[in-house]
Amino acid sequence: MKTKNRHILLLSPSVIAIQDLLHVCENVLSFLDLYINPKRSVCMRIGPRCNNVCCDIVSSYGYVLQWVDSIRYLGVHFVRGRYFKCNHDNAKASFNRSFNTVCGRIGRSGSEEVILQLIRFKCMPCLLYALEACPVNKTQLRSLEFTLNRVFMNVFRSTSMDVIAEYRYWFGLLEMVTLIVKRKQRFMAKYVQSDNELCQLFAHVDSV
């Protein structure tokens, strides 16, 4: 749920608990002279009973919050389901828009080396955003891989996967699974070394 110019994510084990948690949150925000915007606040359910019809979640001011199938939080799209999962379609669309912008600016006048360096530093962050912390299943991984391969097909004007694999190797754009693993390793290294008390607490729990 969102406050004015801020984002708040409330998690609870049950529908009844989220109703109580909402009221607690509203009381605290009221003390800080803040409020929840009911028009931009929604609820979503994850778990074995995700398809069950839920009772209305009502704010202290009488506004009913809508139950939705997906939520966008900090640029990541979470979707309703039996298990926690994300939708990466927006990341792929952002990657393609970024690539089209690069091509629109330099056209075919730039060398392949220049284009690929721009893809690496301008486009790849869009495709890899938050993947170090978000779950990616095999189907999603194949889709992300195809999105990246299609760009290489466009740049080098080839549909041969052997040729594309060779170019990706020499330009350092490895398979998506390898890129994600490397990002997770860097993320966990920073996470463990963080001075944040919550990070230290969870790092200690994970190591036990």
At 73-97, the pLDDT tens digits run 888 999 999 998 999 999 999 999 9
E-assigned strands of the chain? 2-3, 6-7, 42-43, 57-58, 64-67, 70-73, 76-79, 85-87
pLDDT of residue 99: 92
Instruction: List the domain boundaries for the chain.
Output: 2-85, 89-190
- For residue 4, is pLDDT > 50? no
- For residue 193, is pLDDT > 60? yes
**pLDDT class of 2 with cuts at 50, 70, 90:** very low
**pLDDT class of 195 with cuts at 50, 70, 90:** confident
Own/partner contacts of 92-95, CB < 8 Å, gap of 24 or more, are: 92/127, 92/143, 92/144, 92/147, 94/126, 94/127, 94/129, 95/123, 95/124, 95/126, 95/127, 95/147, 95/148, 95/151
Structure tokens at 153: 């097909």
Q: Mind listing the pLDDT tens digit for each residue in 164-176?
A: 888 888 888 888 9
Beta bridge partner(s), residue 58: 64
Q: Mind listing the pLDDT tens digit for each residue in 21-43?
A: 999 999 998 888 888 888 888 99
Position with higher pLDDT, 142 vs 112: 142
pLDDT of residue 207: 53
pLDDT of residue 50: 86
**pLDDT class of 98 with cuts at 50, 70, 90:** very high
Please give the mean pLDDT across all residues of the chain: 86
Neighbouring residues of 87: CB distance < 8 A, sequence distance ≥ 6? 70, 77, 78, 79
**pLDDT class of 204 with cuts at 50, 70, 90:** low
- For residue 108, is pLDDT > 70? no
- Answer for the pair 73, 121: CB distance below 8 angstroms, yes or no: no
